[in-house]
Amino acid sequence: MNTSDVSTAADNAKKTCETLLTTLVDLGSTWAAYGLKVGKAALEQSADALGKTAHTLDTLATELEKKAAEAPKPDHVVDADAPAAPPADAPAA
């Protein structure tokens, strides 16, 4: 084998390696871009779901406040020191 065949084979191997590396870098970049786009979409969906949940909790709190304001107030004052009344189903003495 002469030196020109060896240098040609080495040049061909070098070009093949460069092409392979370039292809791998391009493929890796494509997958990275895809992953970032999927991550962005997932975050946007999570943010949307959290926004809807927050709105629902606010609506629920508002409704509870309305019901508490509409609750009937007792007409009599309860004395905490007075003896408890017997249960309604207790036998009469």
Domain total for the chain? 1
Phi–psi pair at 44, nearest 5 degrees: -65, -40
pLDDT digits (tens, 9 = 90+) for 13-64: 999 999 999 999 999 999 999 999 999 999 999 999 999 999 999 999 999 9
Instruction: Find the domain containing 2 and state its range.
Output: 1-45
In angstroms, the Cα distances linking 87 to 74, 84, 90, 91 are 20, 9, 5, 9
The answer to whether residue 31 is domain-embedded is yes
Q: For residue 1, is pLDDT > 80?
A: no
Is residue 80 helix, strand or coil?
Answer: coil
In this structure, is residue 29 part of a structural domain? yes
Q: Which DSSP letter does residue 2 get?
A: -
pLDDT in the model for residue 62: 96
Taking the whole predicted model, whether its pTM rises above 0.75 is answered as no
